[in-house]
A and B are shown apart, each in its own frame.
Chain A
């Protein structure tokens, strides 16, 4: 199949590649760019493991062609850490609040939570739950993911994190 040249910015770096028109964005990221932090869980847009941030929106990269991302600015989980390489508030929150177990949903979950906190810097618990409802986690039961996002929100907002009582 004839290939198309694509260029885009991923985690701040200009990248390019040759793809078939049908190549999914997630495969371009994982196979061509060899950034394997973005995962594939369902290929039908339900699970959110493949979530990346594209031009300021959370997008499931398993249901978008690489050619559709031409010229866009993409952030994946590999671009989530602080500039100095330390864990971001969200990454730290997931660790401190035990917001992950097998780690397979975690990249998509963190990328989604990152955008959620940009959209709503101080979300309530129901807002967090609704905000991550496009991302499925099979291990944690979400409760500690909610806490992880609350932890990050508090840290970003410079306030003390207070764990809700059981």
Chain B
């Protein structure tokens, strides 16, 4: 050894493996405007398609006259439901087991529903064509309020389902009813409530909102008549699922469908499902023989292409007078809009909402969810959350605060009293999940100590006294949130999409010179997979991350995977990477043993190669092993160094965190100021702390938006009134608070590298923290629950209703 020999630390650092704040490889192209997004795809002879949309929320379509439109220069075709019927595509199946109109078939069921698809030489001509299509409507009474959906005299929305008293998820109680989903022991739970010393009951609504990534949904479809092949470039979070769906509904052989998801400008759940635009662009390409691009505008995105939340949760907790919870009972009225197009694993009509017992040791619980149709856009996507987990976290975290208020207990103390204890893991929840790991008390106490929680409570008491004396018009709220997520869908025993188990995959191919490529079934939309996946491989096999190229999104080259959403990439695909890398490493060990002329059991892995135990100078680097794999493998071994892993996780992962929001609200104006926001996340093993912090910042900002104003709102006759960024709250750098991040590390015991996923935690935990801060601020004036979103006007209204403003 001499001075030039790198130290162990230097060798480890050179890998830029797990735990390293590796700078992103994606940024080189993105900062120079050299990303390749769908709208950047331009094929020879490409046409543009755009939709005629319904101005009515509920109407019969009497007639569609396209004769003038077809005279517009540049317009080549107008596709309607009648056209689509000739290829049996007027309706399409949804991921939730329902069917959805691709184009209005006799009726429209929500404002801005797709009615006809105009195909033209460019986007301007398509727009001219849209203006020339004359549609005759007969307006019908709209159904907007989900609470009236099952009234005896409610207008029937889905005439295609009339008389079908059973749907994909069991019996239907009304023509506008979709499903009832129940979990838990009703009898035991009712008994707990019957003998409860303390009970709370509150209807907690989580309003309708929208993921609204900065890039809208779009695609380019190109059908090659000669080869009978369809190529689709699209904004797809799950490209392989899209390929299979297209194969099933368009009856094309799956190997003749090429789905390519290039760079994606954010997804947040918006880009999981299949939308009419994709079907229409594909049919238009088949009809015209030319590539067809469809790019929705922002208004279309907000008003027609999915939505999130819209859960109305009647929540009850039973407890002892000392504050020990004894039962939880929740009924959810879920507004699904005109079609049940929720993007949940197929058997889960309300996603994983049964995580609603949260971080607490409820001996018993019962949950019932009723899904109903209304004249609103279809969807129900998981906006930066695992399926319906953010609704569940909001429900339980708001309810725990309400219980604390009733017991006159500090909400942090109430939580500490009821947490699942570290020794209880793996923990079986009353609603059926097996929590893999957690240390909630440590996380909560760290949050309280770091933020000076006790001092903040003291300050709040002083401010309340000053308010009572008339010395200030400002009130202060502390929003505590302690969430447990369930992510990493999921084990084949309980998760599938259209019958395909929710595994994920990785294929690693090492090249002779010690570089390689990893192909994945996932698809980054900003999460930085090209950077972090290489870090896992670097640590596992000792090849620098810079020498590993990560490729995703091309279904012809990537192994089959279920895609990126629900924080599943790291828990599922992250595991597949580690497993594939370990296969590489196992073969590398055999090659090294052969080359070093020892038994493979005599070798140990040491950072970037194999070393003979006890003989430190007898070492073969992974780089050299890669070379040897292509010229001198042991007799009988196949040459080459590559591996594939399809990983079916044994369980979900359960990230958790402790958040605190400190907020001041001026009662006379309703204007709030987020003074401080602290987020402690435990996502198990941390692959890239820089990217984790970035994910937390982004998720918190989306949580802030949702809690404080971001809403898809309809007026009482079904007009959507938040159709642009003027009305739909999109926080800028000015409104967005400063974020403080922190962490604990409780590795997942069943995950190969102990990672749990983090992308959605801040949204799941953030929303209740903001809402609890507002509610906590107003609580001393006599309120128990104020519905979100907490914009200035609603805060002022709350103050007025509580008598704090004249």
Contact = CB atoms under 8 A, between A and B. Distances in A.
A146 B29 CA distance: 20
B694 A102 contact: no
Given A98-B24, A98-B691, A102-B265, A143 B33 contact: no
Interface in A33-67: 34-44, 46-47, 49
A96 interface: yes
Interface string B737-753: 01111000000000000
Contact of B33 (A37, A42, A129): A37
A95 interface: yes
Contacts of B526: 101-104, 139
Contacts of A98: 23-24, 690-691, 693-694
Contacts of A130: 733-734
A76 interface: yes
Nearest to A111: B33
Contacts of A80: 31-33
B386 to A, nearest CB: 19
Contacts of A166: 740-741
B724 A142 contact: no
B596 interface: no
Interface residues of A, number: 60
Nearest to B27: A95
Contacts of A136: 214, 725, 730, 732
Contact of B30 (A22, A106, A133): A106
Given A96-B23, A136-B725, A43 B33 contact: no
Contacts of A102: 213-215, 263-266, 525-526
Given A98-B691, A102-B213, A133 B732 contact: yes
Nearest to B728: A46
B385 to A, nearest CB: 15
Contacts of A1: 73, 124
Interface in B23-61: 23-24, 26-37, 39-40, 42
Contacts of B736: 129, 141-143
B347 interface: no
A31 B33 CA distance: 15
Nearest to B40: A36
A20 interface: yes
B734 A104 contact: no
Interface string B210-238: 00111110000000000000000000000
A31 B690 CA distance: 36
A78 B33 contact: yes
A11 B40 CA distance: 19
A42 B298 contact: yes
Contact of A104 (B34, B37, B268, B739): B37
A142 B733 contact: yes
A8 to B, nearest CB: 18
B27 A46 contact: no
Contact of A137 (B23, B214, B724): B214
Contacts of A139: 266, 526, 694, 698
8 nearest interchain CB pairs? A37-B33, A102-B526, A104-B265, A103-B30, A141-B697, A77-B33, A46-B725, A141-B701
Interface of B: 23-24, 26-37, 39-40, 42, 73, 122-124, 212-216, 263-266, 268, 297-298, 525-528, 690-691, 693-695, 697-698, 700-702, 724-726, 730, 732-734, 736, 738-741
